[in-house]
Amino acid sequence: MLTKTSNDHNQTSPRFILHIDLDAFFASVEEVNHPELKGKPIVVGADPKQGKGRGVISTCNYEARKFGLRSAMPISHAWKLCPQATYLAVNMPLYEEVSKRIINILKPFADKLEQVSIDEAFLDISHKVADLKEATTFAKKIKSIILDRESLTCSIGIGPNKLVAKIASDYRKPNGLIIISKDDAKKFLAPLNVEKLGGIGSKTKERLNSIGIKTINDLASYDIKKLKDIFGAWGEEFHRMAYGIDESEIIEEWIPKSFSREYTFDQDTSNYDELKFMVDKLCEEVTLEAIENGFSFRTITVKIRYENFETHTHSKTLPFPTSSIETLKNTSMILLGPFLRSDRKIRLLGIRASNLNEKAHQKTLEG
């Protein structure tokens, strides 16, 4: 559920949407914090434990990427590829503080600002600039101020909408700047792989590839009726995106859809006491976050991943919203029950609270 906190931009006026993406953010912040690491490979994520660690890379700097490392890579594999890297634990309080400072830098530059994640944001600058030349100068000033104040680089894409701006910001990383006019949007997108379009994941990519669509130009040229027959309403949306059409607005305030926590065990386990301890811990963290943000919840989901990476989820929707830790704990253990097998060990455990109610009257359900 989303809430807009300002009026929509007049669609008859030219739109200038800027997307900013901080380069290798976590690792770059660590490099600023530890100048002695500058120019060396840095990996932020799970403890590699000399190649025996569990978990994945959260992010790594561009020096580490030269060795083939990337986000979401198993940390044990990263160690094999680059044992000489500096491996650091995620320091979220530090990254959040730097992110807040950067958002405060960006706010005066925007008619409207949408923070997409800790290191990404969209800015509607339609009333701040008159043409692409001014937009270029505008973006260079933003990059200069962030570099001067925070010693961080960023990549910026500017386009007629969010779709084109985001793809443009990723086009020439790191420290890139790409400006795409409305007239050039389709031409810019045409040679790119079809999965560059938002909403096209690995499974949809496979289906598109199977019918001969590999590039965005292939998608734009494909018969729209056939696309709708295969993908339903999404087929028409994919076709519009391939032409660089996106009318989505800048959303200045996001209301969260869920709160969740996951934990990867150091060693796969089927031990009931160990699993219950972690369920309790995750439930406490999820409930605390929900309460701090003024929400109760109705739907509870447990996620497990077995040692062979087979993954399952099990959910239950309560009759009333709640923010009771005990309710979340008890319900989670009931949902976990069918997955507890002595012959199968669990690698990962997750708890999610969703179907949120903001500042709702909360009833506590026992049992």
pLDDT tens track for 55-76? 889 899 999 999 999 988 999 9
Domain boundary among 152, 182, 212: 182
In CATH, what number is assigned to the domain containing residue 224? 1.10.150.20
Q: Examine the domain organization and report whether 20 and 127 are in the same domain.
A: yes
Compute the average pLDDT of residues 271-283: 92
pLDDT of residue 237: 94
Number of domains, the chain: 4
Q: Examine the domain organization and report whether 155 and 272 are in the same domain.
A: no
Q: Examine the domain organization and report whether 219 and 333 are in the same domain.
A: no
In CATH, what number is assigned to the domain containing residue 47? 3.40.1170.60
Q: Is residue 83 part of a domain?
A: yes
Q: Examine the domain organization and report whether 137 and 154 are in the same domain.
A: yes
| Pairing, β 2-3 against β 253-254 | antiparallel
pLDDT of residue 359: 61
Q: How would DSSP label each residue in 224-261?
A: HHHHHHHHTHHHHHHHHHHTT---PPP-SEEPPSEEEE
Q: Examine the domain organization and report whether 73 and 37 are in the same domain.
A: yes
287: part of which helix (H) or strand (E)? Answer: helix 272-292
In CATH, what number is assigned to the domain containing residue 169? 3.30.70.270
pLDDT of residue 365: 40
Q: Is residue 367 part of a domain?
A: no
Q: Is residue 3 part of a domain?
A: no
pLDDT tens track for 72-109? 899 999 999 999 999 999 999 999 999 999 999 999 99
Q: Examine the domain organization and report whether 281 and 307 are in the same domain.
A: yes
Q: Is residue 75 part of a domain?
A: yes
pLDDT tens track for 195-242? 999 888 888 999 999 999 999 999 999 999 999 999 999 999 999 999
pLDDT tens track for 5-62? 344 444 567 899 999 999 999 999 999 999 999 999 999 998 999 988 888 898 999 9
Q: Is residue 298 part of a domain?
A: yes
Q: Examine the domain organization and report whether 168 and 84 are in the same domain.
A: no
pTM of the entire predicted model: 0.75
Q: Is residue 249 part of a domain?
A: no
Average pLDDT of the chain, as a whole number: 91
Q: Examine the domain organization and report whether 333 and 285 are in the same domain.
A: yes
pLDDT tens track for 310-363? 999 999 999 999 999 999 999 999 999 999 988 899 999 999 999 999 864 344
Q: Is residue 195 part of a domain?
A: yes
Q: Examine the domain organization and report whether 195 and 209 are in the same domain.
A: yes
Q: Examine the domain organization and report whether 264 and 345 are in the same domain.
A: yes
pLDDT of residue 342: 83
Q: Which domain holds residue 176?
A: 14-24+93-182
Helix 92-106 / helix 25-33 crossing angle, nearest 10 deg = 100
Q: Examine the domain organization and report whether 214 and 119 are in the same domain.
A: no
pLDDT of residue 7: 44
* CA separation for the pair 250, 236 (Å, rounded): 22
* CA separation for the pair 190, 182 (Å, rounded): 14
pLDDT tens track for 162-171? 999 999 999 9
266 band by pLDDT with thresholds 50, 70 and 90? confident
Domain boundary among 91, 118, 134: 91
Compute the average pLDDT of residues 239-266: 90
Catalytically active residues are 120
3-state class of 13 per DSSP?
coil
Q: Is residue 9 part of a domain?
A: no
CA quadruple 166, 168, 170, 175: dihedral sign: negative
Q: Examine the domain organization and report whether 195 and 238 are in the same domain.
A: yes
